[in-house]
């Protein structure tokens, strides 16, 4: 009975392996589009695992999933699983994305645009250095996808590194490296066949002259070695044969496999072998660097301009009191910075922050935090780092009022509407207070959905018009464009309507903003709200309560209230002080005139002292 159970278990394992091989095109229909002339498929085998593809009984290529080889987190914090096919010469036959959690790919990028990107890899060598965008010397450039730059950069790094690893593990060598390796090496350890023959000659006590000329150096070394004991002969021969293990049908001179990846070196087998990690995605071939480093190097200009802009903003915030005393300069600087934020940070750098970034960060903290997840996009990483600092010092308002591209667009639209003298529409205080809660409800809902699926949360996060307006530059389906235009139109008659009532990102930033370290950046007077209501009436985002306190959760740090604070024509306490000062000056002038009149009055009463001809 136990023997029957074992037999059944073996049969089930065999059948499961055959089913996996036979069902590959059924599970992944994209495989048929990669190898159109395939007649049969093998099972997943080798390290890294791949499926051999057969035609006429011969292997014509390999199919593999990138998740089985290398996992690089993308924009969502999770890798993109791609089915890749390579032929026996190391060329990419095709690829297809089979699973991802990228919000930009789920909603925003059409299948046609994605296919145009994917087809560019066909025919490329797995050993090519492929870059996205502008050409670079020694590299092959392909076009990216507008609005999904980081996603395609991660996909490119994942596909090329995984394909190279699979190709090398199957004995496919880089033609340039293979040509260099075929040259006679000097000062390099002998090849495995020559080493085996040299050891056999030494064990059998044969003269070294019988060894081939190409291994004469090895034979001489073996002759000088002391005679090994007879009982170790079999062990030495076994070790030599193990070092000369036969390779797949890629040529008789193909090197021995080492942990599934052949080092690009003529030294075979290598003297030092690094252990293979337990999980894919934790190992990089020798000399490889993390994907984010290349991305940072490719975006040096954007990084430099962003850092300069953030430095300028930091000085604006530090010297805000001086600027508040010069309102004309403040308004001009603020408008110029809004243009910089919209055109450079937004439309050029595509660094519009989103609530998806917040949800991805929360998901990463709960599932295993890694810096690589966030270093992928240098613009977003630097911007988020600066926002984190400003949250502790100034609160939410710095990002919402100065660094949000969509917010900057709304401010510029408001300026145009004022030039056109469009009416301003405001809600009552009761309605306003209730509408503010909407964005917090939206945030809680999105967070709950993200616990189940980031991709699904990305679909609901389309309540943010950022992707349509900034990332996609209005190049989307009409319903998304219509919603974005309505949001912008509302901002023309109600300052930052979307930001005040609907923005889940603003709600997410308001929560840590409550723990800011300082309260004295925005100055207030004891008369604010009691009785003065000037700031409250002038705050167009309505962040100042009737009692005079500034609601830091809603403040966008426009500094309009600070302009009023220093303006003795607007601030009621300063107006009263100015009037008292003017009255004192008037009384002083009147007193001086009275003293002068009194000094002249004795002359008028004394006829002797009066000049001749003058009348008393």
Q: Are residues 378 and 319 in the same domain?
A: yes
Q: Are residues 506 and 535 in the same domain?
A: no
Q: Are residues 304 and 448 in the same domain?
A: yes
Q: Are residues 468 and 528 in the same domain?
A: no
Give, as one character, the DSSP assignment of residue 120. G
> How many CB atoms are closer than 10 A to CB 410?
23
Both tokens of 302, joined, read 């954007």
Secondary structure class of 189 (helix, strand, coil): coil
- Do 551 and 545 form a contact (C-beta atoms < 8 A)? yes
Domain that holds residue 316: 299-516
Q: Are residues 329 and 412 in the same domain?
A: yes
129 lies in a domain? Answer: yes
253 lies in a domain? Answer: no
CA 102/CA 455 separation, integer angstroms: 6
Output the CA angle 65-69-70, nearest 5 degrees: 110
Give the end of a domain, one of 173, 206, 223: 173
* Tens digit of each residue's pLDDT (9 = 90 or more) over 172-202: 887 766 555 555 554 444 444 444 444 444 4
* Tens digit of each residue's pLDDT (9 = 90 or more) over 85-121: 999 999 999 999 888 877 667 666 777 888 888 889 9
Task: Determine the pLDDT at residue 288.
Answer: 59
Residue 257 has φ and ψ, to the nearest 5°, of -75, 140
- Do 288 and 129 form a contact (C-beta atoms < 8 A)? no
608 lies in a domain? Answer: no
Q: Are residues 417 and 553 in the same domain?
A: no
Give the end of a domain, one of 496, 516, 536: 516
Both tokens of 27, joined, read 């599970």
268 lies in a domain? Answer: no
Task: Give the closest residue to 533 by CA, choosing from 431, 429, 437.
Answer: 429
Q: Give the torsion sign (CA, 561, 564, 565, 571).
A: negative
Pairing between β-strand 130-132 and β-strand 140-142 as defined by DSSP bridges = parallel
116 lies in a domain? Answer: yes
* Tens digit of each residue's pLDDT (9 = 90 or more) over 231-290: 444 444 344 444 434 444 444 444 333 333 333 334 433 344 344 444 444 444 445 567
57 lies in a domain? Answer: yes
Q: Are residues 164 and 309 in the same domain?
A: no
Q: Are residues 437 and 532 in the same domain?
A: no
Q: Are residues 478 and 512 in the same domain?
A: yes
What are the mean pLDDT values of the chain's consecutive 10-residue runs (616 residues total)?
A: 52 46 72 88 88 91 91 78 92 89 70 85 90 78 77 87 91 70 48 44 42 39 40 41 41 38 38 42 52 81 96 93 92 96 93 90 80 82 93 88 95 93 89 93 95 86 92 87 95 93 94 76 84 85 86 89 89 86 82 71 54 51
Give the end of a domain, one of 147, 173, 199: 173
Q: Is the pTM of this model over 0.75?
A: no
Total tally of structural domains belonging to the chain: 3
Secondary structure class of 378 (helix, strand, coil): helix
Q: Are residues 471 and 508 in the same domain?
A: yes
Both tokens of 344, joined, read 């450079």
């Amino acid at each position: 009975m136990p023997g029957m159970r074992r037999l059944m278990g073996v049969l089930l394992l065999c059948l499961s392996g055959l089913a996996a091989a036979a069902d590959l095109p059924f599970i992944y229909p994209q495989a048929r589009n990669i190898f159109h002339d395939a007649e049969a498929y093998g099972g997943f085998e080798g390290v890294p695992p791949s499926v051999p593809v057969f035609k006429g009984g011969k292997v014509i290529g390999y199919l593999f999933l990138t998740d089985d080889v290398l996992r690089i987190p993308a924009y969502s914090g999770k890798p993109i699983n791609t089915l890749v096919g390579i032929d026996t010469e190391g060329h990419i036959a095709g690829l297809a994305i089979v699973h991802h959690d990228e919000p930009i790919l789920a909603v925003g990028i059409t299948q046609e645009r994605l296919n145009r990107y994917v087809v560019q890899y066909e025919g490329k060598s797995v050993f090519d250095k492929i870059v996205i965008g502008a050409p670079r010397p020694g590299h092959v450039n392909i076009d990216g996808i507008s609005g999904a730059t980081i996603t395609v950069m991660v996909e490119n790094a994942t596909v090329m590194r995984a394909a190279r690893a699979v190709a090398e593990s199957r004995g496919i060598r880089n033609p340039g490296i293979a040509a260099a390796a075929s040259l006679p090496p000097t000062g390099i350890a002998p090849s495995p066949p020559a080493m085996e023959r040299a050891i056999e000659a030494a064990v059998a006590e044969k003269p070294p002259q019988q060894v081939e000329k190409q291994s004469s150096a090895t034979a001489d070394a073996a002759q000088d070695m002391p005679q090994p004991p007879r009982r170790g002969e079999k062990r030495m021969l076994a070790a030599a044969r193990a070092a000369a293990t036969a390779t797949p049908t890629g040529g008789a001179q193909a090197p021995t496999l080492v942990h599934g990846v052949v080092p690009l070196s003529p030294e075979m087998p290598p003297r030092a072998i690094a252990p293979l990690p337990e999980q894919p995605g934790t190992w990089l071939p020798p000399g490889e660097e993390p994907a984010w480093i290349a991305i940072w190097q490719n975006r040096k200009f954007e990084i430099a301009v962003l850092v300069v802009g953030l430095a300028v903003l930091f000085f604006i915030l530090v010297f805000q009191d001086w600027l508040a005393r010069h309102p004309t300069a403040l308004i001009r600087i603020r408008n110029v910075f809004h243009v910089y934020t919209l055109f450079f940070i937004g439309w050029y750098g595509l660094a519009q922050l989103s609530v998806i970034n917040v949800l991805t960060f929360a998901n990463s903290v709960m599932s295993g935090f890694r810096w690589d997840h966030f270093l992928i996009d240098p613009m977003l990483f630097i911007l988020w780092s600066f926002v984190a600092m400003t949250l502790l010092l100034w609160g939410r308002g710095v990002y919402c009022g100065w660094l949000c591209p969509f917010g900057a667009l709304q401010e510029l639209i408001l300026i145009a509407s004022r030039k056109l003298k469009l009416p301003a529409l405001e809600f009552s205080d009761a309605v306003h207070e209730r509408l503010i809660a909407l964005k917090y409800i939206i945030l809680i809902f999105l967070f709950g959905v993200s616990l189940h699926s980031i991709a699904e949360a990305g679909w609901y996060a389309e309540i943010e018009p950022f992707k349509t307006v900034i990332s996609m530059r209005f190049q989307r389906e009409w319903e998304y464009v219509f919603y974005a235009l309505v949001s912008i139109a509302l901002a023309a008659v109600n300052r930052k309507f979307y930001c005040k009532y609907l923005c889940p990102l603003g709600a997410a930033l308001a929560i840590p903003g409550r723990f800011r370290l300082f309260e004295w950046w925005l100055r207030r007077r004891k008369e604010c709200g009691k009785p003065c209501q000037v700031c409250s009436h002038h705050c167009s985002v309505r962040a100042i309560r009737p009692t005079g306190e500034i609601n830091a959760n809603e403040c966008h740090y426009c500094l309009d209230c600070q302009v009023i604070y220093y303006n003795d024509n607007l601030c009621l306490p300063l107006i009263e002080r100015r009037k008292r000062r003017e009255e004192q000056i008037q009384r002083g002038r009147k007193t001086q005139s009275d003293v002068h009149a009194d000094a002249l009055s004795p002359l008028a009463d004394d006829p002797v002292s009066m000049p001749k001809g003058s009348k008393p």
